[in-house]
Amino acid sequence: MVFAVLKKKKFIVSLILIIAVACSVMFFGLKGAVNTFGKQKRDLPIYNVKTDEKKIAISFDCAWGVDYTDKLLSIMEKEGVKCTFFMVEFWTKKHPDYVKKIFDAGHEVGTHSATHPYMSKLSKEAIVKELSSSKKAIEDITGKDVTVFRAPYGDYNNLLIQTAKELGLYTIQWDVDSLDWKDLSAEQISSRVLKKAKGGSIVLFHNQGLHTAEALPEIIGRLKAQGYTFVPIGELIYKENYQVDSNGTQIKNS
């Protein structure tokens, strides 16, 4: 009788141990799965480029008007600077003469979408339509393939970046924001840019910024004095054999 009781207790203890081990395996297995999902790679646009060269890319987003565009082009011509203009399709169709003027001046032209939406909220089909349509509108005017794209509002997700890549587009962000769209003074714009710009930087301006044209001569002049040169984004970034790190810095693979 005593032996039977002991045997039963031993069985119960063994059963408890088995259940405990099983629960541990399930818990840590699940935890591992959560960690794996938590570490799922997020695709990033190119914010800047790792380079030993003192090169900087100036860029303008074009969506709402052309009031200051001639002045910007005049400054660029005087300074011998080539930059990148990202154009929304409705802006492109409203101002085809400016698309051609910008392109003929030797500047790079990229797409800024068709309708300026929050693109992370779109389906793949809608993303393809936004990018393909806006690319074509520009290419019909310039006769040159569009290869760079900037998402409106800087809003993106994996689907957007992957779809853009499938369409032959490099998704470009920025690491220096002039905040010129907030109508900052020329001095404030200059101060922000000059404090943050470095080799491989991509600077964000807007062609319709109220004081952008006033700020540019000082920005360009002071950076030139520090030994910097200016190139379009397409000449700054690596086109192949690269990776983009967790900070959005594009790095050439060794």
Yes or no: say if 210 and 239 are a contact pair by the CB < 8 Å rule: no
Q: How high is the pLDDT of residue 137?
A: 98
Residues 152 and 193 in one domain: yes
Beta strands at 84-87 and 55-62: parallel, antiparallel or unpaired: parallel
pLDDT tens over the chain, length 254 residues: 433 433 444 444 344 443 443 444 333 333 333 333 455 588 999 999 999 999 999 999 999 999 999 999 999 999 999 999 999 999 999 999 999 999 999 999 999 999 999 999 999 999 999 999 999 999 999 999 999 999 999 999 999 999 999 999 999 999 999 999 999 999 999 999 999 999 999 999 999 999 999 999 999 999 999 999 999 999 999 999 999 999 999 999 98
Residue 254 has a pLDDT of 85
Query: What is the pTM for the complete model shown?
Result: 0.84
Same domain? For 6 and 90 the reply is no
In a shared domain, residues 23 and 58: no
Tell me the sheet residues that pair with 71: none
pLDDT at residue 24, as a whole number: 40
Are 3 and 24 found together in one domain? yes
Domain co-membership, 90 together with 74: yes
Nearest Cα to Cα of residue 120 among 149, 157, 153: 157
C-alpha angle 49-51-55 in degrees, rounded to nearest 5? 80
- The reply to whether 85 and 111 lie within a common domain is yes
- Residue 89 has phi, psi (to 5 degrees) of -60, -45
227: left (phi over 0), alpha (psi -120 to 50) or beta: left
- Total domains in the chain come to 2
Do 131 and 13 fall within a single domain?
Answer: no
Tell whether 217 and 234 lie within a shared domain.
Answer: yes
* 13 and 104 both lie in a single domain: no
Predicted confidence at residue 39, as pLDDT, reads 53
Q: Rounded to an integer, what distance in angstroms lies between the CA atom of residue 138 and that of residue 142?
A: 6
Encoded tokens for 78: 């005087």
The reply to whether 114 and 12 lie within a common domain is no
Residue 163 φ/ψ, nearest 5 degrees = -70, -40
DSSP for 146-163 reads: --EE--GGG---HHHHHH
Q: What are phi and psi of 251, to 5 degrees?
A: -125, 135
Burial status of residue 232 (CB atoms within 10 A of its CB: 0-12, 13-18, 19 or more):
buried
pLDDT at residue 128, as a whole number: 98
The boundaries of the domain holding residue 7 are: 1-40
Positions annotated as catalytic residues are 61, 206
Phi, psi angles (nearest 5°) of residue 180: -65, -25
What pLDDT score was predicted for residue 1? 44
Q: How far is CA 132 from the centre of its chain?
A: 18
Which of 79-107 are b and which e, b meaning 16 or more Cβ less than 10 Å from the residue's Cβ? eebbbbbbbbbbbbbebeebbeebbeeeb
**d(C-alpha 236, C-alpha 93), whole Å:** 28
Supply the CATH number for residue 127's domain.
3.20.20.370
Same domain, residue pair 184 and 85 = yes
Q: Is 130 found in the same domain as 8?
A: no
Q: Cβ distance 236 to 58 under 8 Å?
A: no
